[in-house]
Amino acid sequence: MTNRLPLLTALMHKELRGLLRDPQGLLVLFLMPTIFILVMSLALRDVMSAHQSTQQRLQWHDADQSYFSLELRERLGQSERLHIETIGPTDETLTPPYFGRLEIAPGLADRLHPDNREPLVRVTLDPAYPVAGSSLFLTELKGALISLRAEYITEDLFGAPEDEAALVRRATRPDAVPVTVNYPGAAERSETLPDATQQSVPAWIVFAMFFVVFPLSTSILGERREGTLQRLALLNASHQSVLAAKVPVYLGVTVLQASLMLAMGVWVVPLLGGEALQLSGRWLALLPITVATGAAALGVALLIAVLARTSAQATTIGGAVNLVLGALGGVMVPTLVMPEELQLAGLISPMSWALDGYWDIILRHTPVQSTLPECLALLALGASTYAMAAWRLRQDFS
């Protein structure tokens, strides 16, 4: 072992120099996830935020001007998302910056009668407006109309006295129906809801780690092409030594990747107007899942690198495998919104395991030991793929 230590150190030094001489590989490892984090965090900021920074503009035409129509505007106007602007009657096509138009014909009180089948109001929505935003607006509108109908029934059909009607009116306001919503870990962070940065940064960290296959395959294929492996074999260097020398170098690269991406989420994204990543001082708690994810990524990358015969093969296979694992693992689209069949398929993706581990620490604020199952699964994958890569590389030494 003592005699092999200088050889192992020299091989590690060779790997580090080879990595530094591969600018394309370094760009893939560091620049790509950096761009992803910045773009996705800023692009999804308003979609994921509970309090959108940009109000959505709604045109409002009220030909009724009754208590109920004025009350409807008052209640919708309480939404922080909406900016309501009064307009006159128009048949013009709805265009930006307005996402929709709401028109109230005369006689809204009559249409609030339970037996009425006529539309209470007329709504026009821009087809280009996101479906989620349209659904949210319609839900708010229907909620306000339901509460107005409840007032109408109480006051006009049952002839309730004014004081009782006022009591019912207050009791049926949306803000008079308290609902307690709990989010695990909310007490430990300043935000009550996860934002785009908290959800996207871990996903792109995991995705970027698995792209270590590019520089690693370049290193191994270069050694094979230039006869380095044969010369090392003549120097009595084993295939285990060659692979073992790559582990600390590339594992260190993946940990450095994760550290830089986390730092970007904490300090750089907020400078550009996005939400800051909230770690609550739990940097070290992320170390086990980071190392385990790096080990799994390194094992898969080694196996692809030793199986490929050309750089084109390694690039194609490595990129395709990463994209499939990322899509199934919830990197591009959260698994929670996927169909049940795809959620089950996502369980086979190591990126899904790693993402769960990161979210346990960052979003759910669970103890670090709660990530033990994910860490063990990732380490087992890393060990098994490393063993298969070693078996395959042994043939090059024989």
300-346 pLDDT, tens digit per residue, is 999 999 998 888 788 888 888 888 888 888 887 777 666 777 778 88
Global pTM reads 0.65
Residues 220 and 82 in one domain: no
Residues 373 and 235 in one domain: yes
- Over residues 165-200, the pLDDT tens digits come to 666 666 555 555 444 555 555 544 444 445 667 777
Residues 113 and 24 in one domain: no
Residues 61 and 205 in one domain: no
- Both tokens of 228, joined, read 């380095």
Residues 201 and 305 in one domain: yes
Residues 64 and 152 in one domain: yes
Range of the domain at 259: 4-47+193-396
> What per-residue confidence (pLDDT) applies to 156?
61
Phi/psi for 358 (5° steps) reads: -65, -45
Top pLDDT among 210 and 136 is at 210
**Residue 19 domain flag:** yes
Contact residues for 190 (Cβ-Cβ < 8 A; gap 6+): 278
Looking at 11-20, 121-130, 191-200, 249-258, which range is the least confident one? Answer: 191-200
User: Of the candidates 151, 182, 213, which is a domain's last residue?
Assistant: 182
**Residue 73 domain flag:** yes
**Residue 187 domain flag:** no
Residues 178 and 200 in one domain: no
| Total tally of structural domains belonging to the chain | 2
C-alpha span between 97 and 272 (Å, rounded) = 24
**Residue 147 domain flag:** yes
> What per-residue confidence (pLDDT) applies to 43?
56
Residues 205 and 308 in one domain: yes
Residues 226 and 289 in one domain: yes
* Short-list 220, 149, 189, CA closest to 361: 189
Which residues in 108-126 are b (16+ Cβ under 10 Å) and which e? beebbeeeeeeebbeeebb
Amino acid occupying residue 264: M
**Residue 68 domain flag:** yes
Residues 173 and 103 in one domain: yes
User: Of the candidates 125, 153, 182, which is a domain's last residue?
Assistant: 182
**Residue 188 domain flag:** no
**Residue 220 domain flag:** yes
User: Of the candidates 154, 182, 210, which is a domain's last residue?
Assistant: 182
Residues 117 and 206 in one domain: no
Residues 266 and 236 in one domain: yes
Mean pLDDT, the chain, whole residue set: 79
pLDDT at 98 over 60: yes
